[in-house]
Amino acid sequence: MTLPQINNDYLIDFLVKLLNTPSPTGFAEQAIALVEKELSQFKQLKLTHTRKGALVAKWEGKSDSSPRALTAHVDTLGAMVRELKPSGRLAITRIGGLLLNAVETEGCWVFTSKGEKIRGSLLVNTASGHVYGPKASETKRDEEHMEIRLDAHTSSIQGSRVLGINVGDFVAFDPRVELTDGFVRSRHLDDKACVAILAAAIKTMVDSGLVPAQTVYFHFSNYEEVGHGAAAGIPADVHELVTVDMAAVGEGQESDEFHPSICLKDSGGPYHHGLSDKLRELADANGIVYKTDTYPNYGSDGEAFWHAGGDVAVALIGPGIDASHNYERTHTDALIATTQWILAYLLGD
Ligand SMILES: [Zn+2]
């Protein structure tokens, strides 16, 4: 079997669009809508929503003797307004495992319940070097000591309320997407990189006139970063669930930014041995170079489905992402190789 040619530009273009669509967990409707609009061009897919808001795309295969599913998540880290402060600034509560030091001084949008958005940035509350001296660097970067400074005329609780801001409003941080020499640098490559990979795999199949060997469901999750994304929405007849999510790069890890990885164990324990071996054999047979790894501080949507009682084999593959949950980076080589791996899986028996 020779794998069809992947359209790299399509993958990157769609990825950039997705990265620039704010989607903190709980506020991912716009990103789900973007994916839905993109996939609606492929008439082979039957698109439905779960009640929780995930998007599921079903593609009838040559056989439906053992249906498969792949999941990737559009939701990202972010924050919510916790308090309107007497200064007019906003205290926040984190959504998912947001690292506050990683978004210090970052631009952000506050989305009001009336559908408006207000610009601001996140700062430590001892930000001025001239005023606070050594405290500016010594203050702990946590929820108690960081705040959103709004780019609006407000210096009181009432002033911020008049802008339409309330406790519970969503906050999205700028992704700061940059493409240089094959590198993709942005926040939230976890897991938008893999959503774009799934779209690119589907497009490649459609453009090449190919049909999946088995009926397959593509599940686009909207609550992964808080641990229960794919707990619902994977149909009961599915035999195998391949979670497509970032590989953890750092000291002691095999994963890197230029290859996909298969994760054999993370914080939730080992993945399914048989399905993991099957994916490794498929990669080997198709000349796809990958890393095997374990991730020390990591949970996945595949495990969320397991915890919800899903009786299915689960495996985890994905491109290496440097500085995950921080200012992330990967390389196009890893994105393309992961897409090839998924094509091999979709086409394989
Ligand atoms: Zn993820």
Q: Which tens digits make up the pLDDT trace of 266-293?
A: 999 999 999 999 999 999 999 999 999 9
From residue 116, alpha-carbon distances to 88, 90, 164, 165 in Å are 18, 16, 8, 9
Mean pLDDT of 181-203: 98
Q: Is the pTM of this model over 0.85?
A: yes
Query: Known catalytic residue: 224?
Result: yes
How many Å lie between the centroid of ligand 1 and the Cα of residue 224?
Answer: 7
How many Å lie between the centroid of ligand 1 and the Cα of residue 49?
Answer: 20
Q: What percent of the chain has pLDDT over 70?
A: 100
How many Å lie between the centroid of ligand 1 and the Cα of residue 73?
Answer: 7
DSSP one-letter code for 89: -
DSSP one-letter code for 76: B
Handedness of CA 119, 121, 126, 131 (dihedral sign): negative
How many Å lie between the centroid of ligand 1 and the Cα of residue 5?
Answer: 26
On whether the CB atoms of residues 337 and 259 are closer than 8 A, the answer is yes
Residue 27 has a pLDDT of 98
On whether the CB atoms of residues 201 and 212 are closer than 8 A, the answer is no
How many Å lie between the centroid of ligand 1 and the Cα of residue 329?
Answer: 14
Residue 341 has a pLDDT of 98
In this model, does residue 168 exceed pLDDT 90? yes
Catalytic one of 147, 224, 225, 328: 224
Chain Cα centroid distance, residue 227: 13
Q: Which tens digits make up the pLDDT trace of 69-94?
A: 999 999 999 999 999 999 999 999 99
How many Å lie between the centroid of ligand 1 and the Cα of residue 133?
Answer: 38
Rounded to 5 degrees, φ, ψ at 179 are -115, 125
Q: Which tens digits make up the pLDDT trace of 287-319?
A: 999 999 999 999 999 999 999 999 999 999 999
On whether the CB atoms of residues 244 and 198 are closer than 8 A, the answer is yes
In this model, does residue 1 exceed pLDDT 90? no
How many Å lie between the centroid of ligand 1 and the Cα of residue 62?
Answer: 31
How many Å lie between the centroid of ligand 1 and the Cα of residue 76?
Answer: 8
How many Å lie between the centroid of ligand 1 and the Cα of residue 225?
Answer: 7
Residue 331 has a pLDDT of 98
Residue 181 has a pLDDT of 98
Q: Which two tokens stand for residue 264?
A: 């054999």
Place of tokens 């290496």: 320
How many Å lie between the centroid of ligand 1 and the Cα of residue 264?
Answer: 16
Contacts 24+ apart (CB under 8 A), 104-108: 104/141, 104/146, 106/173, 106/174, 106/176, 107/173, 107/174, 108/79, 108/148, 108/171, 108/172, 108/173, 108/174
